[in-house]
Chains A and B, each alone.
Chain A
Amino acid sequence: MGDDIFDEECDYLFKAVVIGDSGVGKSNLISRFTKDEFRIDSKPTIGVEFGYKNIKVRDKLIKAQIWDTAGQERAITSSYYRGALGAMLVYDITRLSTFVNIKKWLHELREFGNEDMVIILVANKSDLSHSREVEKEEGKVFAEKEGLCFMETSALQNLNVEEAFLQMITIIHDIISQKSLEDKMNGPKLNLTNGKEIHIADEVTATKQVNCCSR
């Protein structure tokens, strides 16, 4: 495929998943980030879809492979988490139930995903503040309690969308560089748990659980 040329130039390929209840705006967040598009009439996702974007972080070219999952199929999404370095947990500020279900999603992530997965909590649809059911403060408190990053976004108005993704990717990058540094100091032995996902970089995977919001 055409992306192969880019693969050659990229330093890293990061896999990240976007999860959350059905209809919270996962697909539109991704299309806003990767293609700067927003569709008010988008179809529900079935199975999995992909978004790609090349980003430059601290002089490294990173290709972000973002997996767009189906909110309706919670029973079978767990297999998608394998090998993901980052996860974006999305809820809808106008529906309390989606926020309540975040606990379930987080539980699944912790159970099936990598231990050191970078998780960012995103409260979407901030443009619909008149029908808000979940206060920004609630989300923030929950994120702090669980040790997640938090951001309120609007895919419609393009508020904070890029920032949210960039924050996630930057943290992943930092963790990986730190890990590779440690590895270099410890010796040439590498523990390549994610070798399959990252083709070019042979230094991957962080070992520490980093609470990003503490920085």
Chain B
Amino acid sequence: MNFFAGLLLLLMPEENAFWTFVGIIDDYFEGYYTEEMIESQVDQLVFEELMRERFPKLVNHLDYLGVQVAWVSGPWFLSIFVNMIPWESVIRVWDVLLFEGNRVMLFRTALALMELYGPALVTTKDAGDAITLLQSLAGSTFDSSQLVFTACMGFLAVTEARLQELRVKHRPSVLEVIEERSRKGRVWKDSKGIATKLYSFKHDPGSLVEEKKDNDKGDMVADKDVQLGLESHSSNLDELLDSLNIDSKMDSLPDLQEQVVLLKVEMCRLLEEKRSSILRAEELETALMEMVKEDNRLELTARVEQLEHEVAILQQALTDKQEQEAAMLQVLIRLEQDQKVTEDARRRAESDLATQKLEVHVLQEKYDKATASIAEMQKRVVMAESMLEATLQYESGQSKALASPRAGRVENPSRKIGLLSFGLGWRDRNKGKNNTEESTESSPDNVSPKKESNIEEQQGR
């Protein structure tokens, strides 16, 4: 109880924690944390029966070891798993517990733990080992989802109705044991009689009536029984009648009026319970409505469809783009080819240009050569002229000395003319040839006529 109060204090302020605590203890664990722990013991018997039903092999093994299932499961139930399994798992179990509004989840979780760790338990050889192993294994249940899943899905058959049935079945035996003990322990009870009576007075309005009437200590047991019947909170009239029957067997029989009063009290309580359950049903209904309202699955589906549509459009666009890209690529390839072609053309043109340049160069060289040879010719012409002059002077000197100067003078011009006419005639003949001779390589034979013409030109000047 303290562990669980601690849990609440961690989650909320002090006052809230207190009232939550009161609420949970009253609504969920009535009769659990009393001196005799009746409901707790009943639950253990119920749990043991469920275990026997579900895991007969495991229970047989534990029986063999002398281990009672309650030794391990008792602490689980009493602490509501706080400090027994990891924190996160505790919270998850608590979620379900509070949501369902009864103790069923306790049973389911305990059964789930047994299912998870039962196989390991079967291997133990000693009571102490078995209990220690189960405690440590439960303490390492870190997979809270698995635990809650196993608990809720694996043990759906464990319902509140079934538990109530089993509780009714087992409660008498627990009450019997307690009665037995209290009878044997009369000495102890007597010494504490006043305190017990005060306790009963505080907790049970029904016993107040009796307390007034029965001052005899001998009635303590009967008194206690009635009180237990009420405390057990079974909302079960049979149970109450049972305990009353036990009373009737006891030494002092409570009168009818008293019974009527008790029954009235019980009826009031039942009515109150009915009212609260109706309230709870309404609450649950509103909660359900809210949940339905919050259920936006349709909206989500529509949105998903829209998104899918968008995705389709985008995909279409993507394919278009890809096509465009392919076309662009083709265009590019073509452009490249064109470029290559033009490049080739350019290269060809360049090579043409180069050959032409070469030709021009060759021609230039030829021209230069020709010019050079012309210059040489001129020189030779000059030389020849001077030689001619010298020869002429020598001839004229000879003729002056040999014959009359006249005869000599006549002879001389005639030769001069003859030479001249020869030169002119050659030039006329070669005039048409001149152009072709310049482009082609000139033969050495042509040099001398050329000389002649050059000489003539020189002379003409």
CA distance A71 to B370 in the complex (A): 141
Q: Does A111 contact B (CB under 8 A)?
A: yes
Contact partners of B178 in chain A: CB under 8 A: 75
B124 touches A1 (CB 8 A): yes
In the complex, what's the smallest C-beta–C-beta distance from A117 to chain B, in angstroms?
16
A49 touches B40 (CB 8 A): no
Question: Beta-carbon contacts of B338-352 to A below 8 Å, as 1s and 0s?
Answer: 000000000000000
Closest to B124 in A: A1
Q: Does A35 contact B (CB under 8 A)?
A: no
Residues facing A in B71-86 (CB within 8 A) are 71-72, 74-75, 78-79, 83-84
Contact partners of B37 in chain A: CB under 8 A: 73, 75-76
Q: Does A65 contact B (CB under 8 A)?
A: yes
Q: Does B66 contact A (CB under 8 A)?
A: yes
A3 touches B66 (CB 8 A): no
Question: Beta-carbon contacts of B107-133 to A below 8 Å, as 1s and 0s?
Answer: 000000000000000001111110111
In the complex, identify which listed stretch (A40-48, A87-95, A156-164) lies at the interface while the others stay far away.
A40-48
Closest to A46 in B: B75
In the complex, what's the smallest C-beta–C-beta distance from A154 to chain B, in angstroms?
25
Within 8 Å by CB of A50, from B44, B65, B125, B128, lies B128
Question: Beta-carbon contacts of B132-174 to A below 8 Å, as 1s and 0s?
Answer: 1101000000000000000000000000000000000000000
CA distance A67 to B66 in the complex (A): 14
Contact partners of B72 in chain A: CB under 8 A: 47
A104 touches B184 (CB 8 A): no
Contact partners of B128 in chain A: CB under 8 A: 50, 52, 65, 67
Contact partners of B126 in chain A: CB under 8 A: 3, 7, 13, 65, 199
In the complex, what's the smallest C-beta–C-beta distance from B74 to chain A, in angstroms?
5
Question: Beta-carbon contacts of A110-125 to B below 8 Å, as 1s and 0s?
Answer: 0100000000000000
A79 touches B135 (CB 8 A): no
Question: Beta-carbon contacts of B263-281 to A below 8 Å, as 1s and 0s?
Answer: 0000000000000000000
Q: Does A82 contact B (CB under 8 A)?
A: yes
In the complex, what's the smallest C-beta–C-beta distance from B247 to chain A, in angstroms?
22
Within 8 Å by CB of A46, from B35, B78, B125, lies B78
Question: Beta-carbon contacts of A76-89 to B below 8 Å, as 1s and 0s?
Answer: 10011011000000
B66 touches A83 (CB 8 A): yes
A79-B71 contact, Cβ under 8 Å, with A4-B125, A49-B135, A50-B131: yes
Contact partners of A111 in chain B: CB under 8 A: 184
A82-B75 contact, Cβ under 8 Å, with A3-B129, A44-B2, A48-B131: no
Q: Does A197 contact B (CB under 8 A)?
A: yes
CA distance A76 to B3 in the complex (A): 19
Within 8 Å by CB of B74, from A1, A47, A83, A197, lies A47
Q: Does A184 contact B (CB under 8 A)?
A: no
Contact partners of B84 in chain A: CB under 8 A: 46
In the complex, what's the smallest C-beta–C-beta distance from B29 to chain A, in angstroms?
14
A1 touches B70 (CB 8 A): no
Q: Does A103 contact B (CB under 8 A)?
A: yes
CA distance A83 to B65 in the complex (A): 11
A75 touches B74 (CB 8 A): no
Contact partners of B71 in chain A: CB under 8 A: 47-48, 79-80
CA distance A43 to B2 in the complex (A): 10
A76 touches B184 (CB 8 A): no
Within 8 Å by CB of A76, from B40, B125, B135, B188, lies B40
Residues facing A in B31-70 (CB within 8 A) are 35-37, 40-41, 44, 65-66, 68, 70
A43 touches B83 (CB 8 A): yes
Q: Does A107 contact B (CB under 8 A)?
A: yes
Closest to B84 in A: A46
B129 touches A1 (CB 8 A): yes
Question: Beta-carbon contacts of A46-63 to B below 8 Å, as 1s and 0s?
Answer: 111110100000000000
Residues facing B in A192-206 (CB within 8 A) are 196-197, 199
A50 touches B132 (CB 8 A): yes
CA distance A197 to B129 in the complex (A): 12
Q: Does B460 contact A (CB under 8 A)?
A: no
- Among B75, B126, B129, the one with the most A-chain Cβ atoms within 10 Å of its Cβ is B126
In the complex, what's the smallest C-beta–C-beta distance from A199 to chain B, in angstroms?
8
CA distance A3 to B132 in the complex (A): 12
Closest to B66 in A: A196
Within 8 Å by CB of B133, from A1, A79, A80, A196, lies A1
CA distance A24 to B358 in the complex (A): 125
Within 8 Å by CB of A107, from B44, B124, B185, lies B185
A76-B83 contact, Cβ under 8 Å, with A1-B124, A47-B72: no
B184 touches A46 (CB 8 A): no
B41 touches A75 (CB 8 A): yes
Contact partners of A70 in chain B: CB under 8 A: 75
Closest to A75 in B: B37
CA distance A3 to B135 in the complex (A): 16
CA distance A93 to B456 in the complex (A): 165
A197-B66 contact, Cβ under 8 Å, with A1-B133, A47-B71, A50-B132: yes
CA distance A66 to B75 in the complex (A): 18
In the complex, what's the smallest C-beta–C-beta distance from B294 to chain A, in angstroms?
40
Given pairs A48-B131, A73-B78, 16 additional interface contacts (CB within 8 A): A1-B132, A3-B126, A43-B3, A44-B2, A46-B79, A47-B71, A47-B74, A47-B75, A52-B128, A67-B128, A73-B37, A73-B74, A76-B44, A76-B74, A82-B66, A104-B185
Q: Which 8 A-B pairs have the closest CB atoms?
A: A47-B75, A46-B75, A75-B37, A50-B128, A65-B128, A1-B129, A196-B66, A75-B36
Q: What would be 8 A-B contacts, judged by CB atoms less than 8 Å apart?
A: A47-B74, A47-B78, A49-B132, A49-B135, A50-B128, A65-B126, A75-B178, A111-B184
Which A residues form the contact surface with B (CB < 8 A)? 1, 3-4, 7, 13, 43-44, 46-50, 52, 65, 67, 70, 73, 75-76, 79-80, 82-83, 103-104, 107, 111, 196-197, 199
